[in-house]
């Protein structure tokens, strides 16, 4: 009797287990199907992102690659319609001609002096201003910070006339002072951006560092110089590289304030390349060939390009830590 009573129970359990297995199998099939769909959509999304990034990279890299390729072409390659990207032979004569026409070393010195002074001024002043906006409470702080950020969207061309009149009254025309002095007052080329970078970095620092320093008798200046400034190396690196690139490539302000050719920078010499080659050739060559022009552009960009390639890994890490993105 016990066996007869037990058999239906086992049959019921077996049937229930069978139903559960079937339901579980259907659930696994559904999960596998959803998993495949997610993987397909994920691969499609990544493919679209990569295509977009490749296209965007090509837009930015195309002028540089064209400039580099053309700079190595000979005169024969320039007039040959079958030669576009890769020259038939590497020609360095355009680099020698551009080097001589640019008077490279003297104007490299001028560009380096102007750029390094501007970078030093912005790193010192913008770090102090950014620290003040981030760590000190005072009336009108947010309004002043908003006004500082507003200067970032004001084109320098709109205020160049009153600035020129002001610097003319100070007898600063034909000197580097109009480009250098504003940098030491947290202004200059995109000074508001560097204030923002330093402020974002300082806001993420723990207040316990400053509290501990005050307990040890350190004042505000000492805290900034001894405690805070050594920690903000990533922000200093990002701001320094960006400021150097912008000062190095700046053409507008030096062309307004500088008159004497001996004080020109390398970017200012590019429009005078034809005149310089004409003088060197005794009037035989009035217009430089395209390879010489591209070689001159490469020589102007070369110092900052080499510096960026050397500091690239530190630069990317510093951008992540300063909070520029995200």
- For the segment 47-51, the average pLDDT, to the nearest whole number, is 91
| Model pTM score | 0.80
Greater confidence (288 vs 257) lies with 257
The CA distance from 37 to 58, in Å, is 31
End-to-end CA separation in angstroms for the chain: 75
- Mean pLDDT (the chain, rounded): 84
Give the best-scoring range by mean pLDDT among 137-146, 200-209, 225-234: 137-146
Q: What pLDDT, on a 0 to 100 scale, did the predictor assign at position 283?
A: 63
User: Is 324's pLDDT higher than 90?
Assistant: no
pLDDT of residue 25: 55
Alpha-carbon span 300 to 21, nearest angstrom? 73
For residue 4, pLDDT beyond 60: no
> Is residue 11 exposed (0-12), middle (13-18) or buried (19+ Cβ within 10 Å)?
exposed
What gap in Å lies between CA 228 and CA 209, rounded to an integer? 8
Under 8 Å between Cβ of 259 and 173: yes
The pLDDT tens digits of the residues spanning 132-189 come to: 999 888 899 999 999 999 988 888 889 999 999 999 999 999 999 999 999 999 988 8
Determine if residue 124 is left, alpha or beta; phi over 0 gives left, psi from -120 to 50 gives alpha, anything else beta. Answer: alpha
Name the percent of the chain in helix, strand, coil, to the closest 5.
80, 0, 20
CB 255 within 8 A of CB 282: no
Percent of the chain, pLDDT > 70?
Answer: 83
What is the structure's pLDDT at 257?
95
Cα–Cα distance, 266 to 254 (Å, whole number): 11
pLDDT at position 104, please?
A: 94
Q: Is 114 helix (H, G, I), strand (E, B) or coil?
A: helix
The pLDDT value recorded for residue 58 is 87
Let me know if 111 is exposed, middle or buried by CB neighbors in 10 A (0-12, 13-18, 19+): buried
Count, in order, helices (H) and strands (E) of the chain.
Answer: 15, 0
Q: What is the mean pLDDT of residues 285-289?
A: 68
| Cβ-contact 318, 123 below 8 angstroms | no
Give dist(CA 290, CA 241) in Å, integer. Answer: 30
Banded model confidence at residue 40, pLDDT cuts 50, 70, 90: confident
How high is the pLDDT of residue 85? 83
> pLDDT value at position 171?
95
Between CA 139 and CA 245 the distance in angstroms is 36
Pull the structure tokens for residue 274. 């034809």
Please say if the pLDDT value at position 5 is more than 50: no
Other CB atoms within a 10 A radius of the CB of residue 228 amount to 21
Task: Pull the structure tokens for residue 171.
Answer: 């007898």
Residue 221 to residue 213: CA distance in whole angstroms: 11
Mean pLDDT in residue range 99-103 = 92
pLDDT at 2: 45
Residue 263 contacts residue 105 (beta carbons within 8 Å): no
* 303 has a pLDDT exceeding 70: yes
């Amino acid at each position: 009797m016990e066996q007869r009573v037990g058999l239906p129970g086992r049959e019921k359990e077996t049937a229930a287990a069978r139903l559960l297995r079937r339901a579980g199998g259907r659930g696994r099939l559904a999960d596998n199907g959803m998993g495949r769909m997610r993987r397909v959509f994920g691969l499609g999304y990544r493919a679209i992102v990569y295509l977009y990034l490749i296209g965007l990279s090509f837009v930015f890299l195309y002028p540089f690659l064209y400039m580099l390729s053309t700079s190595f072409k000979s005169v024969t390659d320039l007039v040959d319609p079958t030669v576009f990207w890769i020259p038939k032979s590497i020609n360095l004569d355009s680099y020698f001609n551009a080097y001589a026409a640019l008077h490279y070393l003297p104007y490299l010195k001028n560009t380096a002096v102007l750029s390094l002074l501007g970078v030093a001024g912005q790193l010192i002043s913008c770090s102090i201003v950014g620290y003040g906006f981030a760590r000190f409470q005072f009336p009108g702080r947010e309004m002043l910070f908003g006004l500082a950020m507003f200067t970032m969207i004001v084109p320098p061309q709109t205020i160049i006339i009153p600035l020129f009149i002001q610097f003319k009254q100070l007898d600063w025309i034909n000197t580097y002072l109009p480009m250098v002095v504003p940098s030491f007052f947290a202004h200059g080329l995109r000074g508001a951006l560097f204030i923002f970078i330093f402020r974002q970095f300082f806001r993420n620092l723990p207040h316990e560092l400053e509290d501990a320093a005050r307990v040890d008798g350190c004042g505000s200046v000492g805290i900034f110089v001894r405690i805070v400034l050594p920690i903000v190396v990533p922000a200093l690196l990002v701001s320094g590289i960006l400021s150097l690139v912008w000062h190095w490539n700046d053409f507008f302000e030096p062309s307004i304030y500088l008159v004497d050719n001996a004080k020109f920078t390398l970017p200012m010499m590019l429009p005078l390349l034809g005149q310089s080659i004409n003088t060197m050739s005794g009037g035989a060559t009035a217009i430089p060939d395209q390879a010489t022009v591209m070689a001159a552009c490469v020589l102007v960009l070369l110092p900052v390009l080499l510096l960026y390639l050397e500091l690239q890994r530190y630069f990317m890490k510093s951008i992540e830590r300063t909070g520029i993105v995200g």
